[in-house]
Amino acid sequence: MNTHADTTSPRGRIDRRQTARHLLQTDLEKLPDAERQVVERFIAKRHVARDIVKQADRDRSLGERIADRVAEIGGSWSFIIGFGLVLLAWIALNSLVLAHAFDPYPYILLNLCLSCLAAIQAPVIMMSQNRQAAVDRLRAQNDYEVNIKSELEILQVHEKLNRLREQDWMTLVELQNRQIAMLQQLLERTGGLPPELPPDPPAH
């Protein structure tokens, strides 16, 4: 008994909708929106894979672009080295160079600037991280959709191979039946005995 579902159309073509229903083991209307869209793309023979990073970069707002740029600069060695040089120069000016320091020890103005910088930089970096997390979720969702479509395509290939094997088997059975019929006709003509073979020529 054949246990796999018949996913071929009456004309022998593979029905992509039946293939999707057979793989997912449910009606398409009962699927979540994301999976149903993937199945619809599969039936329509449309691509599912997308360049999520490129799409996210294109859809960024001005604030998100600024946040990404601040996070990129703040997390680089160039920023660390440059900021360290600024601190050393500030301390040197107020301790060694200037006779009347504008921010003498304990550098209260410097501490105020550092506090303001940290208060502004931290939420900006968090905004950039939140956007990156959203991009990662979109990328994972796209990978899931691609995997579903790949499984559907693989199942369709299996169905095509099964159909080809069944057609080959039917052709072999038909050919065997013809050979049996020809053999029966030959036996009837010879009276049920195999035809006599000509004698071997004498050896010299």
127-171: pLDDT as tens digits: 999 999 999 998 888 888 888 888 878 888 887 888 888 888 888
Range of the domain at 56: 16-189
In a domain, 95, yes or no: yes
In a domain, 2, yes or no: no
The share of the chain scoring above pLDDT 90, in percent, equals: 24
Distance in angstroms (rounded) separating the CA atoms of residues 47 and 182? 53
In a domain, 4, yes or no: no
Q: Which range has the worst mean pLDDT, 9-18, 47-56, 121-130, 134-143?
A: 9-18
In a domain, 96, yes or no: yes
The share of the chain scoring above pLDDT 70, in percent, equals: 77
In a domain, 199, yes or no: no
Residue 29: pLDDT band (50, 70, 90) is low
pLDDT at position 201: 63
State the average pLDDT for the chain. Answer: 79
Given a cut of 90, is residue 108 above it in pLDDT? yes
The mean pLDDT value for 21-37 works out to 65
Q: Give the count of domains, the chain.
A: 1
In a domain, 9, yes or no: no
Residue bearing the bigger pLDDT, 107 or 6:
107
> Peptide bond preceding 202: is omega within 30 degrees of 0, i.e. cis?
no
- Name the range with the highest mean pLDDT among 20-29, 94-103, 109-118, 165-174: 109-118
In a domain, 68, yes or no: yes
In a domain, 30, yes or no: yes
The mean pLDDT value for 177-196 works out to 75
The mean pLDDT value for 56-74 works out to 89
